[in-house]
């Protein structure tokens, strides 16, 4: 049962937009992002102090951070740049989670300046944090890596092979140490999956965390104040896939809360997550125009976007659905590779894809580009990253990031000096 992939504008509307903003560009649907945020918050309202910290790396645009903050979300950062974005839009304190790894000193300092909740990735980072900032904060969180205790999924791999987090033994040692050093509030974090569509997998992760919270209390007398289940809620990239039902995860988590947390006298335990993909992914599209067609051993459609704008297909072989605007009802009776212009054969948005016949200047919407899309772009071959546009709930469209220019690309080079060198 294929779900039709939605797109909020008509071909004519997009054609009109391209007069103001040339293709390629990313387009985000604010109303759909808000409705999704509200669905998530409503589903998890049965858990104490629920908060979603949007993973900034998924779509690091301050306008979207503002939209999500106005829906009550916080932000999850893992770099200096992401902390700066939060500061710029007034997110700080308990609204910011700092989940980094191999953390440089200056990033620990920046996180402390924002009063963010710091989530340590390793036991040695207790001393590193003190060395970098002079003290420990009163609230501290640790990232748990369950190792071979739990199966991974194909994207994140097996936890024991993942570079993140503390082992179980280290985790107990770490809480005891920071308690003795005066930390007063404790968090427990894990992230073991990525792009996982199976609700049961997310519920099992919650069980693992709840059981640990109880054990930590029993063995150390340390009361955990919040858990953070990480990101990793998947989205249906393929039309045949089913979206994750937030209600099912929330209900499963609430039942486990009643089974494990309440009888242990550990209520209230705040419930946090830090999803990125599921929040904005389905509500962003890469809009690109067909500019070349080529018939060799295969039929190729060359578009004006490339891996500079969306890496996932080239990097992971990921499927992104494509709609030829205005041909939504046309039969998919052609087979194409839809490709960008990089000198890199993986620069393909679709391989041997059944699509309607594509003519030059047709507009294509590449779906599910709202997270880990623009953000992952790179400048190989000197290709420029595209603009980001926001479709407002009133139907207007605002540019929330301009396209890069060659001047941006060359800003770190002194071309005049190079011209007279040697
Ligand atoms: C990437 C990441 C997330 C968000 O993951 P999604 O798959 O986008 O939900 C959350 N937390 C951490 C620590 C991450 O690295």
Query: Domain with 398 in it: what CATH number?
Result: 2.40.37.10
Does the pLDDT at position 291 exceed 90?
Answer: yes
Instruction: With cut-offs at 50, 70 and 90, classify the pLDDT of residue 156.
Output: very low
Structural domain span for residue 144: 30-281
Residue 310 domain-assigned (yes or no): yes
Does the pLDDT at position 2 exceed 80?
Answer: no
pLDDT for the residue 360: 98
CA pair distance 64, 54, nearest whole angstrom? 10
Residue 416 domain-assigned (yes or no): no
Q: How many CB atoms lie within 10 A of CB 135?
A: 10
Structure-token match 């006298």, residue found? 265
End-of-domain residue from the set 281, 303, 322: 281
Instruction: With cut-offs at 50, 70 and 90, classify the pLDDT of residue 151.
Output: low
Question: Among candidates 239, 196, 167, which has minimal Cα distance to 7?
Answer: 239
Which atom of ligand 1 sits closest to the CA of residue 119? 13
Which atom of ligand 1 sits closest to the CA of residue 276? 8
End-of-domain residue from the set 256, 281, 306: 281
Asked if residue 391 lies in contact with residue 28, where contact means CB atoms within 8 angstroms, the answer is yes
Asked if residue 54 lies in contact with residue 34, where contact means CB atoms within 8 angstroms, the answer is no
Structure-token match 């941006």, residue found? 408
Check if 199 has its Cβ closer than 6 Å to any atom of ligand 1. Answer: no
Residue range 40-51, pLDDT digits in tens: 999 999 999 999
Residue range 227-284, pLDDT digits in tens: 999 999 999 999 999 999 999 999 999 999 999 999 999 999 999 999 999 999 999 9
Check if 191 has its Cβ closer than 6 Å to any atom of ligand 1. Answer: yes
Does the pLDDT at position 157 exceed 60?
Answer: no
pLDDT for the residue 1: 56
Number of domains in the chain: 2
Over residues 92-111, mean pLDDT: 97
Does the pLDDT at position 158 exceed 80?
Answer: no
End-of-domain residue from the set 281, 309, 333: 281
Q: Are residues 212 and 349 located together in one domain of the fold?
A: no
Residue range 345-391, pLDDT digits in tens: 999 999 999 999 999 999 999 999 999 999 999 999 999 999 999 99
Residue 86 catalytic?
no
Asked if residue 93 lies in contact with residue 86, where contact means CB atoms within 8 angstroms, the answer is no
CA pair distance 354, 289, nearest whole angstrom? 18
Residue 391, both tokens: 């479709």
The percent of residues in the chain predicted with pLDDT above 90, rounded, is 95
In the beta sheet, which residues pair with residue 293?
301
CA pair distance 115, 74, nearest whole angstrom? 13
**Set 77, 141, 275, 343: catalytic member:** 343
Using CA atoms, how far residue 299 sits from 333, 338, 351, in Å, is 13, 9, 10
Q: Are residues 272 and 146 located together in one domain of the fold?
A: yes
Q: What is the mean pLDDT of the chain?
A: 96
In testing the pocket of ligand 1, which one of 59, 101, 157, 191 has its CB within 8 Å of the most ligand atoms?
Answer: 191
CA pair distance 164, 172, nearest whole angstrom? 16
Residue 3 domain-assigned (yes or no): no
pLDDT for the residue 155: 47
User: How many angstroms does the Cα of residue 194 sit away from the middle of ligand 1?
Assistant: 7
């Amino acid at each position: 049962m294929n779900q039709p992939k939605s797109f909020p504008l008509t071909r004519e509307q997009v054609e009109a937009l391209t007069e103001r903003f040339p293709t390629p560009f990313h387009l985000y649907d604010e109303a759909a992002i808000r409705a999704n945020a509200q669905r998530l918050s409503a589903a998890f309202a049965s858990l104490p102090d629920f908060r979603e910290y949007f993973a900034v790396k998924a779509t690091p645009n301050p306008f979207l951070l503002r939209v999500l903050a106005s829906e009550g979300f916080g932000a999850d950062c893992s770099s200096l740049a992401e902390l700066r974005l939060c500061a710029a839009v007034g997110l700080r304190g308990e609204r910011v989670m700092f989940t980094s790894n191999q953390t440089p000193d200056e990033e620990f300092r920046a996180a402390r300046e924002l009063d963010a909740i710091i989530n340590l990735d390793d036991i040695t980072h207790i001393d590193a944090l003190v060395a970098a900032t002079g003290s420990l904060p009163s609230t501290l969180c640790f990232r748990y890596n369950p190792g071979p205790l739990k199966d991974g999924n194909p994207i994140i791999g097996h936890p024991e092979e993942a570079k993140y987090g503390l082992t179980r033994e280290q985790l107990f040692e770490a809480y005891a140490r920071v308690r003795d050093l005066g930390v007063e509030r404790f968090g427990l974090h894990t992230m073991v999956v990525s792009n996982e569509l199976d609700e049961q997998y997310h519920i099992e992760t919650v069980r693992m965390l709840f059981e640990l919270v109880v054990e930590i209390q029993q063995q150390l007398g340390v009361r955990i104040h919040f858990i953070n289940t990480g990101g990793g809620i998947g989205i249906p990239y393929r039309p045949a896939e089913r979206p994750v039902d937030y209600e099912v995860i929330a209900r499963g988590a609430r039942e486990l809360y009643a089974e494990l947390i309440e009888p242990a006298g550990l209520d209230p335990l705040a419930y946090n997550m830090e999803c990125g993909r599921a929040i904005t992914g389905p509500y962003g599209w890469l809009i690109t125009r067909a500019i070349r067609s080529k018939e060799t051993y295969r039929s190729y459609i060359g578009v004006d976007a490339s891996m500079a704008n969306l890496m996932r297909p080239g990097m992971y072989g990921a499927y992104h659905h494509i709609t030829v605007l205005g041909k939504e009802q046309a039969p998919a009776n052609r087979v194409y590779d839809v490709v960008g212009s990089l000198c890199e054969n993986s620069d393909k948005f679709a391989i041997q894809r059944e699509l309607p016949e594509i003519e030059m200047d047709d507009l294509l919407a590449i779906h599910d580009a709202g997270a880990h899309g623009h953000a992952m772009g790179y400048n190989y071959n000197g290709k420029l990253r595209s603009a980001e546009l926001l479709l407002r709930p009133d139907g207007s469209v605002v540019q929330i990031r301009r396209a890069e220019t060659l001047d941006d690309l060359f800003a770190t080079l002194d071309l005049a000096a190079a011209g007279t060198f040697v």
